[in-house]
Chain A
């Protein structure tokens, strides 16, 4: 079993995401063979023109969605961290939807069981990442996210320092 912190998930960079929903269309195209963002496993949010972000499953370390299911319909893959849905066991009650802080679990409008991002396992890699025209989506680990945050804060600090003490 790989270390849990190695699990990868799709994350959008808030500075790059422009809210175009191409990822939603790509998701429905690949997974559902149609164009319909209401069947996408990744969803965009635009709070105002400056605040845009696509959100999907973050493959939590201790997934509350799994814990919330009273019918044991959800399990987390030990290998990949992906949340797997037992479609026969799921009755669409929505406890997991409520448990997920990211709105990443949704009830499928037709099958009426829940569906969650599975990193396009059948495609080799997540297709939203392939299609995002802004390169805003990345397959990351929590380690990588932490690294990125560190680098960006240090860059910012040095910018300020440079302004204060001209070299």
Chain B
């Protein structure tokens, strides 16, 4: 049985540590990963808690496959909390090695609350949990921290997840990194750690992880390994996700200069092809995963000679085309600086792009930038701004460290026009003006702008729908994808491997059963996916952020048509079609026009206990409608 059967509770204020048995009923209903984490968040948080309050819990969750040999799922964990970026639900997953050790240490979840007086790190050594002094690690990068902790503990197989200076300084887009470069990237989890004075979590797990049916499990993973060598993972094994640069550019869907254009004249120079030919020195893998996808770049010459970073499309796009920078050396340096300070590379790139836009339009002056020529395409300015955000340096660094939503308010003068975020989370690299299923998917995503909450760009990019239109029917497409992705993120399968489950949810249900011994079907899994989406929505509603007025698109997407000559010219999302999309989505979800789950829907999903959250709200919105 591959659940550990135990949760660990650490209060950093009092230093109290206790373990409790895992509530198996909850585990069955919410699987693990983000699902179980979000359900536990309800039990451990009160409405209206500030994300930086000691009372905001940070929940580490493994999945039912973590610690097993399941390729990609064996090495994973998730973090769930309340987001300092959005004020709503936060969740992020990471692979590497850390998650497997957390499971082997014997935990399905670790719930950290409180705030330490001094900077510390938590060392989970199987059953023993210690709070260790980390004052000397202040200001150190994740990589330095990891090395220092391994040295101190005298064990190079200890796995470490930690924050850099950005997290310590409560930069709202701070990430946490494990195993040098795998990120709990989005929704500001590094800052929540910082608010707790928690520099790192180190873990050594030495216990066995057993599956219910070893023989069949073995056959199943053998099959997955074989499929991983096949066409469904080709992209990740060859050029990697940077392949998207030219694909999206050809579709006029590559946001350029903070979503000013949708094609980039410098695309070739930042393409996956060019990157691989010139910079990628090795492609490596995470524990248990035979696919190997980590493209490790090395800058061979110039001012950034010797810089090394793992490069994926999203960060490359955010810090490259989105800032108008066509200089890969500088983009790789900027990515490596994001790692150094512990910043979400997507959000950081979008923030810098926003600042450049403001500068070009005179909303920020050379005085504000302290002499920095912050125009689009300036590679040095890009790298410098990343550093300033990571350390909150200067007036501008400090303002931008708050994220685009808050920075736009502070800068004023209509800067909101240039702020590309949804619910406070910055947009990833898909131009929603010409990818309208994605536009709907990103708008309704519970963690804010995100391509990985539904992958709703894929029907647009594949051409299975008219991507320049938002019409009835898209709601169902988005919902089905969301529910599937919720399952994937609760089993914590790597999304790069999603294509190898040829029978989709049926394969995943079998996987789950072989590992846990608990009967599971595709139908039950997808229902769990729906339950998870609803509980996330409930959390956001509880925090006053979960209704229709929060399911929005940035002004640029709604008002500035794509200017580039060609297929996408003139496209943007208008209010009318957006409303059609939202209405359609809420209807298939069984939610009110205001985007609130009905009591009937909650009953259907076994979420009756949470009806109190929606009751008053539904009546209010009905009255409003009259």
Contacts and interface: CB of A to CB of B under 8 A. Distances in A.
Please indicate whether A and B come from the same complex rather than being unrelated chains: yes
Interface of A: 18-22, 25-26, 29, 32-39, 46, 48-50, 52, 109, 131, 133-134
B69 A29 contact: yes
Contacts of B286: 20
B214 interface: yes
Contact of B209 (A18, A34, A50, A131): A34
B292 A18 contact: yes
A36 B69 contact: no
A35 B285 contact: no
23 contacts: A18-B282, A18-B283, A20-B292, A21-B97, A22-B71, A22-B290, A25-B69, A33-B214, A34-B210, A35-B69, A35-B208, A35-B210, A36-B206, A36-B207, A37-B100, A38-B104, A39-B208, A49-B181, A49-B296, A49-B310, A50-B281, A50-B308, A133-B285
B284 A49 contact: yes
| Interface of B, helix, strand, loop or mixed by DSSP | loop
A133 B100 CA distance: 19
A18 B225 contact: no
A130 to B, nearest CB: 9
Contacts of A25: 69, 74, 287-288
Contacts of B284: 18-20, 46, 49, 52
Nearest to B103: A35
B289 interface: yes
A160 B74 CA distance: 44
A149 to B, nearest CB: 21
Given A49-B294, A133-B229, A19 B285 contact: yes
Nearest to A21: B287
Contact of A20 (B209, B288, B296): B288
Given A34-B210, A35-B208, A49-B284, 17 more contacts: A18-B283, A18-B285, A19-B285, A20-B286, A20-B289, A21-B287, A22-B290, A25-B287, A34-B208, A35-B210, A36-B207, A36-B209, A39-B208, A49-B282, A49-B308, A133-B228, A133-B290
Given A25-B74, A35-B67, A20 B285 contact: yes
Nearest to B287: A21
B218 interface: yes
Contact of B104 (A29, A36, A48, A49): A36
A13 B416 CA distance: 54
Interface string B41-74: 0000000000000000000000000011101001
B333 interface: no
Interface string B274-304: 0000000111111111111010101000000
A34 B218 CA distance: 11
B534 to A, nearest CB: 33
Given A35-B210, A36-B209, A29 B218 contact: yes
Interface in B231-251: none
Contacts of B551: none
Contacts of B74: 25, 35
Interface in B297-320: 298, 308, 310
B225 A131 contact: yes
Contacts of A37: 100, 287
Contacts of B209: 34-36
A92 B130 CA distance: 29
Contacts of A50: 281-282, 296, 298, 308
B415 interface: no
Nearest to A25: B69
Nearest to A52: B284
Interface residues of B, number: 39
B483 interface: no
Contacts of A21: 97, 287-288
Contacts of B67: 35
Contacts of B229: 133
Contact of B292 (A26, A33, A134): A134
Contacts of B292: 18, 20, 133-134
Q: What 10 A-B pairs have minimum CB-CB distances, sorted nearest first?
A: A133-B290, A20-B285, A34-B208, A25-B69, A49-B296, A18-B285, A18-B284, A18-B292, A35-B209, A21-B287
A25 B211 CA distance: 13
Nearest to B310: A49
Contacts of A38: 104, 157, 206
Contacts of A131: 225
A48 B281 CA distance: 12
Most B CB within 10 A of own CB, among A20, A25, A33, A35: A35
A36 B289 contact: no
B134 to A, nearest CB: 23
A110 B3 CA distance: 22
A37 B218 CA distance: 16
A20 B181 contact: no
Nearest to A49: B296
B210 A22 contact: no
A37 B97 CA distance: 11
A11 B597 CA distance: 58
A133 B225 contact: yes
B530 interface: no
Contacts of A46: 284
Contacts of A49: 180-181, 282, 284, 294, 296, 308, 310
A26 B70 CA distance: 11
Nearest to A133: B290
Nearest to A130: B222
Contacts of A35: 67-69, 74, 208-211
Interface in B69-117: 69, 71, 74, 97, 100, 104
Interface in B246-284: 281-284
Contacts of A26: 69
A109 B68 CA distance: 19
Contacts of B71: 22
A29 B214 CA distance: 9
